[in-house]
Amino acid sequence: MFRRKRVLIIPVSAAVIIALCGWRMMNPHGLSLALSQQPEMRQAAPVFQLYDQESTIVNLQAYLHRHRIVIVFFDGQTGPEANETLVTLREYYQALRAENIIVLGVSTALPQENRNNSSQPFPFPVLSDPAASAAESAHRNWGCFIEPPSLDKPPRTRPGVFLVDRAGLVAWQGQFPRPESNTSSLVARLLGSE
């Protein structure tokens, strides 16, 4: 009798394996779900040193490994007031500051233009990167540079919002940091209310 049970183990095991393989082939979503949950690639944030709206040098490296940092690249021609994310971050600045979160705005405008283009002052640094086409510019290193200036127009840049974690790491995609895809709920996510 014991010998008879051992003989049945092999065909039963084979039937179970065949059934599992058939189920896996009919339900491939389990595999794609596992692949989509892989962690995102994070690398060190590219550092920069730029002048703020008060013509004071701000060095990103001074904040790394001590704070979470929100960096907002915006259109310098329209000014910081035209950027919805910057205006929202200004409204919630005290709460963000209480959470030890640093906010930096970056544009191609000169410091005095950033200072004068605001009806209400920004409580955080609004930085100037007027040489956006230079090889070591913040816009180029963060993937926000599109084309150099010409005689009749300023350099073309793309806006972007980036989150740098306390370890100094930012999400990457290809050769550059990856901007946040959902900025509408940014403040809620930063303050942990979402």
As a whole number of angstroms, the distance between CA 37 and CA 193 comes to 23
Is the pTM higher than 0.85? no
Q: Are 172 and 79 in contact (CB under 8 A)?
A: no
Q: What is the mean pLDDT of the chain?
A: 85
Q: Are 161 and 72 in contact (CB under 8 A)?
A: yes
- 188 pLDDT more than 60: yes
Looking at residue 39, what is its pLDDT? 65
Mean pLDDT of 78-83: 87
- What the block records as the tokens of 71 is 């960096």
As a whole number of angstroms, the distance between CA 102 and CA 70 comes to 6
Mean pLDDT of 153-168: 89
**Amino acid letter, 142:** W
Q: Are 129 and 108 in contact (CB under 8 A)?
A: yes
Q: Of all helices (H) and strands (E), which one includes residue 68?
A: strand 68-73
Lowest mean pLDDT among 90-99, 151-160, 162-171, 180-189: 151-160
As a whole number of angstroms, the distance between CA 69 and CA 166 comes to 8
